[in-house]
Structure 1
């Protein structure tokens, strides 16, 4: 069962399904930077003056002052922070404030920011060139690592983002099946391509947008939606659209409506329904790939989809995406087949290098056991702090991914998630920021731990959470 928790802070803990030794990863995997000042000194000295000046200037240069909406703090209020540097589990803003970071660049930084090994490998690769627009041997190396790790992937195509991966995989599913319609789930986010911006999560949920202006009705006419964790709704869609549905795409664990885990029967049921109806099953593992287990959510849950999208971790912090799956399907992709997709920087040597080094680190014994241990402690601790201070909270975790809501719960889908007290979350977020802890600036985003987080980081965070919650 999923690691779903209530305000009691008692977890039904998952142990990772990865068959990696339980020996703990070496201490070199983790950042040893100490918090440079006490909590009291941090609060006394906390200022965002330089961030405010920089952000005000940015608003005249970029829409909303940012290049991705959630960074503007619209849903949590307060002054967005402008980051100067990051190392290990810490980030430092341009005012000199230091934060324990649980965003991790929205997931890629699973071995920590500015990992010494990644930086050294990138430095060597850059001596040979940054991009060729032609094949390089590093593509083969990372492709072999991905194929050996992810159960569903027999061939893989690298692209430059999760959005590109989802665009490509949907086109491929339609090409292979000859059908046009597909099912996505409410609150799940599969990038900002037109077809996916229907009842989407991530920034669309954060900003309260039903979809997006500029998306023509024709682009979404073949997009069908169902509530997450609702098999009956999926079966009704197949009944009403017999022989017309190419695929189901889903986040096996939702990370863009907050953190929502599947009911025990849900993913099994989806796999059965797609097989019974001649449709493909696509796992969007841009977020969960190499995070829940080395083989991703499909290894963790023991369910093999037909196609998979990846991103984030496989680029080690550089822009990347990928889609892959069964060989007979992937051989339809050009130039092997007629389904066209291309990219100038796809498979570039820098992203391949960072991805290779990151995956090598993740293969070390004890990696996922360590992530599971610290994330369980963190999630339990925050929910226990909520209980002590009289706040209704629920949440959960799997391996290095977690989330919590300001509602009694349980949260099974996007409609449940929207019951969360977002005003209270905003107060919590701003309070934690002053204490030196950086969570995602939205109630509707998952959090992430890394190998760089130490037990001291976790205890500091829990203590800060209790202080902040006691003031709300």
Structure 2
């Protein structure tokens, strides 16, 4: 079966033919390729067309696809176990690694996804503070938990969904919406509701309204507000953890959060999530405390094996992997901006290490409103051109490009060559 036949058949058994909306290419007026295999930075679809991958499973594959050592770790673990729903040594190894290497994590709880990590962290914050309200930021996407689906980024923006059907009004009545990088607006929220706010959750490097890094004074102001009003500060590092830097985006700021959530990279490509933070707060979780959260597959031994191998490899090579990705990311950004000027096409590029977004809008992009001014028609034409040229990029203006340790300068040069061809057609 080829791409088209597989996708058409999939529509009979899965809504839209997919298990996550952005994969459907809805709004791009084309069907998605159906991926068959991947190695390094190359993926191959069922029609045997090859693509240089700048999506990397939406971030996790920082070592590239099918890294030999990760695959071997999975093989070894699978020969010993599939699942127990019981304590294992690999759970300890993963938890110890996270606590020993992340400055803000004293205890951790493993889960199975980013959504599970963020919703559990919110529940813990509410249980610890005995308050109900939360502050999230317009354009930030923290998963499909009911309380987050207000002014969410990512797929909700791509699909043009104002919120989400199936979410009762009561589920979002305790969600307050902040304006990313606007400390004055958030200060007003605290003045009005401060004694009711359990926590503030934020992507310190937003990746679901395109890449936007929080400003230093904004983050410091959030920490001050949370301290003043007795609220918790939660960093959602599902995307930026071990990607923005080895120690994640938390290491880019002079701010220590109370809780942090992780997923993506920590699973080495397998389903995984975690949330952790201060011991005093984490000990409120059952079986020590009264905040209940459980999961049969949490800490699954095969997932732990893939994650540990990935993280150990990143740690052992952090002085080469992260500088390489930084260099290539800068090369890509500088090249795109130079071509934009050459062909007089308004665009802006935001990047943090191996995360980057090209916005088809002139001027600086640092607010949610700036993102919504981007030319989506031009983005659609760019997306189709790059896909036809053999580059797998996100099918949404509101997502990020990702780079891996397997990318080389030749891949950047090839991307820029194809991008220039697109800009020529736009003139």
| Separation (CA, whole Å) in 2 of partners of 1:228 and 1:240 | 18
Q: Which residue of 2 aligns with 1:71?
A: 23
| Separation (CA, whole Å) in 1 of partners of 2:189 and 2:404 | 39
| Separation (CA, whole Å) in 2 of partners of 1:288 and 1:150 | 13
| Separation (CA, whole Å) in 2 of partners of 1:346 and 1:302 | 32
| Separation (CA, whole Å) in 2 of partners of 1:276 and 1:242 | 9
Note the residue ranges of structure 1 that are not aligned, 5 or more in a row: 1-48
Q: Which residue of 1 aligns with 2:231?
A: 279
| Separation (CA, whole Å) in 1 of partners of 2:142 and 2:46 | 32
Q: Which residue of 1 aligns with 2:57?
A: 105
1:469 has 2:423 as partner: yes
Tell me how far 1:50 sits from its aligned partner. 2.2
2:78 to 114, 126, 129: 126
Q: Which residue of 1 aligns with 2:349?
A: 395
| Separation (CA, whole Å) in 1 of partners of 2:49 and 2:340 | 26
Q: Is the 8 A contact 1:76 1:425 kept in 2?
A: no
Q: Which residue of 1 aligns with 2:221?
A: 269
2:256 to 304, 325, 328: 304
1:193-230 per-position Cα deviation (integer Å, ceiling 9, x unaligned): 10000100111011111110000001000000011101
1:16-70 per-position Cα deviation (integer Å, ceiling 9, x unaligned): xxxxxxxxxxxxxxxxxxxxxxxxxxxxxxxxx9212211111111000100000
| Separation (CA, whole Å) in 1 of partners of 2:414 and 2:132 | 51
Q: Secondary structure at the match of 1:249?
A: strand
Note the residue ranges of structure 2 that are not aligned, 5 or more in a row: none
Q: Whose helix fraction is larger, Structure 1's or Structure 2's?
A: 2
Q: Secondary structure at the match of 1:352?
A: helix
How many residues align? The count is 424
Tell me how far 1:392 sits from its aligned partner. 0.3
| Separation (CA, whole Å) in 1 of partners of 2:375 and 2:10 | 30
1:80 has 2:32 as partner: yes
Tell me how far 1:101 sits from its aligned partner. 0.6
1:374 to 305, 328, 344: 328
2:163 to 206, 211, 219: 211
Q: Is the 8 A contact 2:132 2:196 kept in 1?
A: yes
1:151 to 74, 90, 103: 103
Q: Which residue of 1 aligns with 2:125?
A: 173
Q: Secondary structure at the match of 1:127?
A: helix
Q: Is the 8 A contact 2:350 2:365 kept in 1?
A: no
| Separation (CA, whole Å) in 1 of partners of 2:137 and 2:95 | 29
RMSD: 1.0
When normalised by structure 2's length, the TM-score is 0.98
| Separation (CA, whole Å) in 2 of partners of 1:217 and 1:135 | 39
> CA 1:301/1:75 → structure 2, altered by over 3 Å: closer, same or farther?
farther
Alignment of 1:183-194 (within 5 A): 183-194=135-146
- Deviation >2 Å, runs of 4+: none
1:246 has 2:198 as partner: yes
Q: Secondary structure at the match of 1:233?
A: helix
Q: Larger relative CO (CA 8 A, sep 6+): 1 or 2?
A: 1
1:413 has 2:367 as partner: yes
Q: Secondary structure at the match of 2:212?
A: coil
When normalised by structure 1's length, the TM-score is 0.88
Q: Secondary structure at the match of 2:135?
A: strand
Q: Which residue of 1 aligns with 2:88?
A: 136
Tell me how far 1:389 sits from its aligned partner. 2.1
